[in-house]
């Protein structure tokens, strides 16, 4: 009789475990889900000339706000909001991993922790060198896209006077800029095109480069 009771209890325990396993996908995990989360800006990827931001290691380039504000929404496995994600846990990297970031993820982070709807924004100045065709938003180590596993590249191209990504604007960068100046007639290099006359590397770009010479993190 005792053995029978143990068998009944074992079956009940097994049934309970099955129910728990079956319901795991419907339980709020509170963990960032990249497919249910999103990061968007006004533009479309790849970025057009209006969606290019100038960065400098010294954090005195163009600001992400207001024209380049990135809206971030963080949801979990059942598409429930994840509130209270610290601002420092939301940061940017280059779409093609071609940006050098001053202080790593501290180069730029969210303006505030995620609110009750799991939402925040990224604004401010990007302390970085290098050149990339867009940015990706990382939340607690997870790259998020535009929702439902869409392309994670946000349409904000980044160009810096620190062309080689050494985190200092120096002679190495000057040599790289000089190799492409002026264009035309030299072949066009988008990474050297810093100002609004996009499509040409000219005196305006030289002036922009010169104003950030010797800048560092």
Contacts of 90 (CB under 8 A, 6+ apart): 72, 74, 109, 110, 114, 120, 122, 137, 138, 139
Whether pLDDT at 48 is above 80 = no
- Structural domains for the chain: 38-164 (2.60.40)
pLDDT for residue 16 = 41
Q: Is 142 helix (H, G, I), strand (E, B) or coil?
A: strand
pLDDT for position 66 = 75
Average pLDDT of the residues of the chain: 85
pLDDT, tens digit (0-9, with 9 covering 90-100), for 94-114: 999 999 999 888 899 999 999
pLDDT (average), residues 141-145: 93
Q: Is the pLDDT of residue 11 over 50?
A: no
Task: Say what the pLDDT of residue 106 is.
Answer: 84
- Nearest CA to 217 among 133, 119, 108? 108
Task: Indicate the pairing of strand 157-160 with strand 52-55.
Answer: parallel
Percentage of residues of the chain with pLDDT beyond 90: 65
* Predicted confidence (pLDDT) at residue 7 exceeds the cutoff of 80: no
Confidence of residue 44 (pLDDT cuts 50, 70, 90): low
Which of 74-88, 158-172, 184-198 comes out lowest in average pLDDT?
184-198
């Amino acid at each position: 009789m005792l053995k029978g009771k143990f068998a009944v209890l074992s079956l009940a325990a097994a049934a309970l475990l099955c129910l728990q396993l079956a319901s795991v996908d419907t339980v709020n995990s509170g963990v960032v889900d990249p497919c249910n989360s999103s990061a968007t800006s006004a533009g479309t990827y790849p970025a057009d000339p209006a969606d290019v931001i100038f960065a400098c290691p010294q954090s005195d380039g163009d600001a992400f706000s207001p024209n380049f504000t990135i809206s971030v929404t963080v949801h979990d496995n059942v598409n429930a909001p994840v509130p209270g994600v610290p601002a420092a846990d939301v940061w940017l990297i280059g779409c093609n991993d071609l940006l050098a970031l001053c202080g790593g993820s501290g180069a730029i982070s969210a303006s505030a922790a995620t609110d009750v709807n799991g939402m925040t924004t990224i604004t401010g100045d990007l302390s970085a060198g290098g050149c990339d065709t867009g940015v990706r938003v990382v939340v607690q180590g997870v790259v998020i896209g535009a929702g439902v596993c869409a392309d994670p590249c946000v349409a904000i191209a980044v160009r810096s006077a620190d062309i080689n990504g050494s985190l200092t604007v120096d002679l190495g960068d000057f040599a790289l800029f000089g190799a492409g100046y002026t264009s035309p007639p030299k072949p066009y290099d988008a990474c050297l095109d810093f100002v609004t006359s996009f499509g040409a590397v000219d005196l305006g770009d030289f002036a922009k480069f010169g104003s950030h010479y010797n800048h560092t993190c």
